[in-house]
Amino acid sequence: MKTAISIDDGLLREADETAQLMGLSRSRLFALAIGDFLQRKRQEQMLLRLNEVYADGAEPAEKRLLRGIKAKVRPTVTESW
């Protein structure tokens, strides 16, 4: 889909130079850049949601499970981390 945007002259020149160096069209460079930006924003949102979920710490059942796992794994670890 075609669209029109306003962009700073210096940024446009830099984008054009980068696109040329990469063998891409300006449009493709912008599409890749916005795709990358949106992916990072989705990851940030996911991290925020996960932090909200785990902000209260582990549930008692989870803590018991983790203690059991650690007890079983500890004897198999031969190196110090």
- pTM summary value: 0.64
pLDDT at 74: 82
How far apart CA 45 and CA 51 sit, in angstroms, is 10
How far apart CA 40 and CA 1 sit, in angstroms, is 23
Angle between helices 26-53 and 9-22 (to 10 degrees): 100
pLDDT at 18: 98
Mean pLDDT by 10 residues, the chain (81 residues): 94 98 97 97 95 83 90 79 60
**Cβ contacts of 3 within 8 Å, gap of 6 or more:** none
pLDDT at 76: 80
Amino acid, res. 55: A
Q: CB of 71 within 8 A of CB of 63?
A: no
Q: CB of 58 within 8 A of CB of 69?
A: no
Written as six digits, the tokens of 78 are: 């031969």
